[in-house]
Chains A and B, each alone.
Chain A
Amino acid sequence: MKPFLALVKRDLTLGLRRKSQIYQPLVFQLLVVTMFPLGLGSGARTLALIAPAVIWILALLASLLTLDQIFKNDYDDGSVESYVLTSYPLPLSVLAKILSHWLLSGLPLVLFSPIIGVLLHLPSSSYGVLMLSLLIGTPIFSFMGSIGSALTMSLKHGGLLLTILVMPLLTPVLIFGASAVVEISLGNSASQPLLLLSGLLILSITLIPFAAAAAIKINLE
């Protein structure tokens, strides 16, 4: 078996056994979204108006809950050495880690988003674009988060530092993602923000594995 696939398989097995990585972000989203009608106290129209932004901010915050785990567990138990001390390229192993993180934490957010949409009275015409924008956007969260996680993996409580490091990098994703949903709910074309999001994703795929690999090396010094 290729090291890449072996790493993905191991991480998926671990994720399915731990489960918290999967349900934590979803429960968090559900809890927070039920607060909005209570706090705003107004009707469906207000909720529908803020829905795109709220769904995207929730997706961002929910992702942040699990980002530090990408490398932290491996650092703590020493298994990070299994993919650092090998001739197999570290950026590829990093890519495998990011892919499995997204499959465990990002993909459930995408699949869960229609439920959040219903709770916020999102117009029915927007669901396709909502899911598509999250499908392109949530992997970018995992990519950017991998740099933060690699930089903070040796810290006991690196969660806040990771948030501070990663949040500015994620704002463009939030801007384009939310605006895609806004555009479609106003009846306009969402292709421009979606294309910009796709561009960000491609940029992340090509550059971030190298950056995160360098960050791991620095942290092991």
Chain B
Amino acid sequence: MFKPVSFDLAFGQSLLISGPNGIGKTTVLESIAGLRDLQSGGFSFKDSNLDKNKDIWFESSLYIGHKTGNKKELNCLENLRSFLQIQGIDVSETQAEVALEQVGLAGFEYQMAGSLSAGQKKRLALARLLLASFPIWILDEPFVNLDIAGCAWLLAVLENHLNNKGILIITAHDNKTIKKAVTQEIILEPVEI
């Protein structure tokens, strides 16, 4: 689909993957996250090759994709806690409540995720960022569906993460907002046949 890409990120740096619709931004992100295997090439993290054993990568990275991973029949608190518990991260109810308040879902703790708006569902998924202390964040279009206040909040969270020596790998339509924060950009180009 696209020409070969390569990148090298240090802690505290960020990468924006951009390109036209359908070029494969999500594919790149899913490969980085570990959902897909690469057709060719490889990844290494902290000097260890990730081709055979991705555990060290899974233990330090958090991926939030297009599908938010929320369960319709669970309320916000249950969704947030169960998702992280399944990944082996224990979160107390109070911690989860604080995170929900920070993403602007105060008062929705016991509301079923199925009845939330698209933007609120996104916020619920993004609340995981605040609770899992992973250094690497891989986010697919995190600004989609968020309102202006939500975008500003997310941008502040991302900048804070980078200031704390985190790594951010992101795709975004609204490049102007995010470009202020990123240190590198890859523009995917189609392969000429």
- CB atoms of B69 and A77 under 8 A apart: yes
Q: Does residue A6 face the partner (Cβ distance < 8 Å to B)?
A: yes
Q: Does residue B13 face the partner (Cβ distance < 8 Å to A)?
A: no
> How many B residues are at the interface, by size bracket?
20 to 34
Instruction: Note all chain B residues with C-beta closer than 8 A to A6.
Output: 82, 85-86
Of B1-9, B30-38, B172-180, the segment with at least 4 beta carbons within 8 Å of chain A is B30-38
- CB atoms of A3 and B74 under 8 A apart: no
Partner pick for B35 among A1, A7, A77, A85, CB 8 A cutoff: A85
- CB atoms of B86 and A10 under 8 A apart: yes
> How many A residues are at the interface, by size bracket?
20 to 34
7 A–B contacts from the bound complex (CB under 8 Å): A1-B90, A78-B66, A78-B68, A81-B63, A85-B34, A88-B87, A88-B88
Chain B interface residues (CB < 8 Å from chain A): 30, 33-37, 55-56, 58-59, 61, 63, 65-74, 78, 82-83, 85-88, 90
- Known pairs A14-B71, A87-B55, A220-B36 / 18 extra A-B pairs, C-beta < 8 Å: A2-B88, A6-B85, A13-B73, A13-B74, A14-B74, A76-B67, A77-B67, A77-B68, A78-B67, A82-B69, A83-B86, A85-B34, A86-B86, A87-B58, A87-B88, A88-B88, A220-B35, A221-B36
Chain A interface residues (CB < 8 Å from chain B): 1-3, 6-7, 9-10, 13-14, 17-18, 76-79, 81-88, 93, 220-221
Q: Top 5 A-B pairs ranked by shortest CB distance?
A: A78-B67, A6-B85, A87-B55, A78-B69, A10-B82
